[in-house]
C-alpha cells in the first residue's frame, strides 16, 4: 500500500487578523462546506481545462450539498493571470448574480490560486475564497499567505492584493499524478523554506533525494518510518504560516519568503513564462547565495550546499550568460526595489536571512557570472 494512503489529517493554523486553517491529508472534500462558512448560496469553481474532470466533481459535490455551483475554465499556468481572464471571471460572477455572501473555490496550481484569489478580492470588494491546490508549489506557496496577483507586460505579479482565503485544502492524492518536473519544481519552494527558516527540511531531502522525487521517500528513525513528503509539506506550510501571521502585507518579516525570487521573477519574464516558477527560484537562490558570498556575508560551504541539494532533486542551478542587461532591467521593477535601490533577500547562514540593499553593480555582475552556463565549475559537495 502507498504510504500516502495512510496519511492522517493535519491542520496548520495561519494567524493574523483573519486566521484560517490549512488542512493536509486525503479525501478532504467533505471539509469544504465548513471552510466556506454559513450563508453561502452560490459557489464558482475556477479551474483550468486540464483540471476539468476534477473541477466537475467538486462542482457536483457542492451541488449535492445544496449550493448553486458553477464552473469557470481558465487557461493553464501563467496564461491565467491576465486582466482579460480576470475580466472573464468577473463577467461570470456578474451574470450569475454573485453577492458578498457567495464564494469562489480555486482548483489547480499556483497560477490558478493567484487568479482566483485576485478575482475574489476584487468582486464587490471581497468575497469568500477557498483554495484547493493540486500541485506541490500551490500547497506550500501560492495557496498559503493571502497574496493574489495577475501579470502585466511589464512584469510578474505587479497587480494584486493581500487577501487571506477562508481556508486551504491540500489533498496529497493530487500529487501522485503530478508530472515529475512539476513536482520537482515545487521542491524549489520547499528547499527555500529550509534555507530561510527550517534546516530540518534540508536534512530530510539530503537523506533521500531520489525517494522524495519519487514521492515515496522514507527515513528510518528509532526503528520507525515516517511519511517524509507529508512532513516536508507541513514544515514548509508552517514556515510560511509563521511569517504571514506576523506580516501579511510584506512590510517586514514576510520579505524573507522572497529569497531567490528577485532573480527568479526576472528569468520568468525574460523567458516569457516558459520556465516553471520553482525552477526559476532554484537558480535565483544560487544567484542570491553567490551575491551574499561575494559581499562577504555567506560562507562558501552554504553556497555549495545550495548547488548540491538543488541538483540532487533535478533542479537547475545555472542560467544562460547573455541576458544580464534584460534581467537587470526587470529586477529594477521588482516589488522590493525602492526608487533606484535594488534590495535582495540573502542569507548570512542557514536559517539566518537578511537584506542586502544597493549592492555594487560589480558584485551583481560577478554573481551572474557565477551562475551563468559555461562558467568555471563551482566548488561542490559530492552528491
Q: List, as residue ranges, the binding site for NAD(+).
A: 76-81, 110-114, 134-135, 147, 156
Segments of the chain assigned E as strands? 10-14, 20-25, 42-48, 68-74, 103-108, 128-133, 147-152, 155-162, 167-171, 218-221, 224-227, 343-349, 352-357
Q: Identify the bridge partners of residue 357 per DSSP, sorted by sequence position.
A: 343
- For residue 260 the three cell numbers come to 531567490
3-class DSSP assignment, residue 144: coil
* Annotated binding-site members for Zn(2+): 189, 261, 277
CA distance 250 to 285: 19
- In this structure, the strands spanning 42-48 and 218-221 are unpaired
Q: Which residues are documented as binding site?
A: 76-81, 110-114, 134-135, 147, 156, 189, 261, 277
Strand partners, 43: 69, 103
The three three-digit cell numbers of residue 90, written as one number = 468577473
Concatenating the DSSP letter of every residue in 291-337 gives: HHHHTT-S-HHHHHHHHHHHHHTT----B-SS-HHHHHHHHTTSTT-
**CA-CA distances (angstroms) from residue 55 to 59, 74, 78, 117?**
6, 12, 19, 17
Amino acid at each position: 500500500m502507498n504510504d500516502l494512503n495512510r496519511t492522517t489529517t493535519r491542520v496548520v493554523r495561519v494567524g493574523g487578523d483573519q486566521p484560517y486553517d490549512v488542512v493536509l491529508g486525503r479525501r478532504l472534500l467533505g471539509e469544504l462546506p465548513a471552510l466556506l462558512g454559513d450563508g453561502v448560496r452560490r459557489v464558482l469553481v475556477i479551474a483550468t481545462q486540464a483540471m476539468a474532470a476534477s473541477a466537475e466533481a467538486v462542482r457536483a459535490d457542492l451541488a449535492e450539498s445544496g449550493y448553486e455551483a458553477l464552473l469557470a475554465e481558465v487557461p493553464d499556468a501563467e496564461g491565467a493571470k491576465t486582466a482579460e481572464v480576470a475580466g472573464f471571471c468577473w463577467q461570470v460572477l456578474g451574470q450569475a448574480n454573485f453577492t458578498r455572501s457567495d464564494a469562489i473555490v480555486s482548483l489547480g496550481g499556483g497560477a490558478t490560486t493567484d487568479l482566483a484569489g485576485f478575482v475574489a478580492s476584487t468582486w464587490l470588494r471581497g468575497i469568500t475564497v477557498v483554495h484547493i491546490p493540486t500541485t506541490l508549489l500551490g500547497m506550500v506557496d501560492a495557496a498559503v499567505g493571502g497574496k493574489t496577483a495577475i501579470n502585466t507586460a511589464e512584469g510578474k505579479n505587479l497587480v494584486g492584493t493581500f487577501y487571506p482565503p477562508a481556508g486551504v485544502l491540500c489533498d496529497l492524492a493530487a500529487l501522485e499524478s503530478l508530472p515529475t518536473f512539476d513536482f520537482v519544481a515545487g521542491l524549489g519552494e520547499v528547499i527555500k523554506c529550509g534555507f530561510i527558516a527550517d534546516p530540518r527540511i534540508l536534512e530530510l531531502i539530503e537523506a533521500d533525494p531520489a525517494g522524495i522525487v519519487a514521492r515515496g521517500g522514507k527515513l528510518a528513525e528509532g526503528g520507525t518510518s515516517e511519511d517524509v513528503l507529508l512532513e516536508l509539506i507541513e514544515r514548509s506550510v508552517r514556515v510560511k504560516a509563521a511569517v504571514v501571521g506576523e506580516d501579511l502585507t510584506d512590510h517586514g518579516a514576510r520579505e524573507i519568503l522572497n529569497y531567490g525570487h528577485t532573480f527568479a521573477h526576472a528569468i520568468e519574464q525574460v523567458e516569457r513564462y516558459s520556465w516553471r516558477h520553482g525552477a526559476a527560484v532554484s537558480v535565483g537562490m544560487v544567484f542570491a547565495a553567490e551575491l551574499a558570498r561575494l559581499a562577504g556575508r555567506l560562507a562558501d560551504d552554504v553556497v555549495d550546499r545550495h548547488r548540491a541539494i538543488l541538483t540532487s532533486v533535478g533542479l537547475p542551478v545555472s542560467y544562460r550568460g547573455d541576458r544580464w542587461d534584460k534581467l537587470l532591467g526587470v529586477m529594477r521593477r521588482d516589488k522590493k526595489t525602492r526608487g533606484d535601490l535594488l534590495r535582495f533577500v540573502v542569507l548570512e547562514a542557514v536559517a539566518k536571512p537578511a537584506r542586502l540593499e544597493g549592492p555594487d553593480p560589480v558584485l551583481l555582475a560577478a554573481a551572474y557570472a557565477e551562475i551563468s552556463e559555461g562558467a568555471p565549475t563551482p566548488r561542490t559537495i559530492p552528491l
